[in-house]
Amino acid sequence: MITLKVNEDLTPRKKDKLRIRIRMDFRGEEEIGRFFFGSKSSEFMAKKARDEQIELLKNIPIQGIDFEKFDASLDVYFIQEQDKKGRKKEIAYAPVLITFTADRLEDVIPLLTNRTLRKVEIISPEKITLEKSALEGLLYSFHKQITLVV
C-alpha cells in the first residue's frame, strides 16, 4: 500500500492522486528528399515527432493516468553528433512538458521507461511513504516493463 502524506496527515486516502510533470525530448534528423526537392530540416522532423507523440498521448488512454497539460512552447535545441561514418550531423530535439495525475505509482512506469524521458518532477504530494510490500511490487512492475522494452 502506498501512503500519501498531505499536510502532515499520514492517513491513507484512496482519493489522493500523484501529480507529476515530465519532460520528454523528441529527436529529429534531417531527411533528404529525392531530386533536390522535399527535403525536411531536422527542426521540422523533431517538431513533427513531438506533435505526433502528443496526439498519441492525448488520444490513446493509459490506465490510471489523466493528462492535464502538454506544453510544447519550449524551444527546439540542436546538438552535433557523429554518424556511423564519422560525419558530423546536426540533430534537433523538440522538448515537451507533460503534466498528469496518476492513480498509482505503478501506472507511471510505462512513461518512465520511454527513451525520450529527460526529467521527472513530482508536484504533489510532498511526501510519499512506501511499505516494504508496496516497494517490492513497484520494483517488480518496473522490472516487467523494462523486460518488455528490451
User: What class has domain 17-126?
Assistant: alpha beta
Cell of 75: 524551444
Q: How many residues does the chain have?
A: 150
| Backbone angle region of 81, left / alpha / beta, with phi > 0 → left and psi within -120 to 50 → alpha | beta
pLDDT in the model for residue 101: 95
DSSP for 43-110, written as a single string:
HHHHHHHHHHHHHHHHHS--TTEEEEEEE--SPPEEEEEE-TTS-EEEEEEEEEEEEEEESSGGGGHH
- One-letter identity of residue 66: D
Tell me the pTM: 0.81
pLDDT in tens, 38-65: 778 899 999 999 999 999 999 999 999 9
- Strand-strand pairing, 2-5 and 127-130: antiparallel
Residue at grid coordinates 513533427:
48
Q: Return the pLDDT at 10.
A: 47
Euclidean distance between the first and the last CA atom of the chain, given in angstroms as a whole number:
29
Peptide bond into 61 cis (omega under 30): no
Give the pLDDT band of residue 128 (cuts 50, 70, 90): confident
Instruction: Tell me the per-residue pLDDT of 4-44, one tens digit each, with 9 for 90 and over.
Output: 555 455 444 546 789 999 999 999 988 877 666 777 889 99
Of 18, 109, 23, residue with least CA distance to 66: 18
> Rounded to an integer, what is the distance from CA 71 to the centroid of its chain?
12
pLDDT digits (tens, 9 = 90+) for 82-103: 888 888 889 999 999 999 999 9
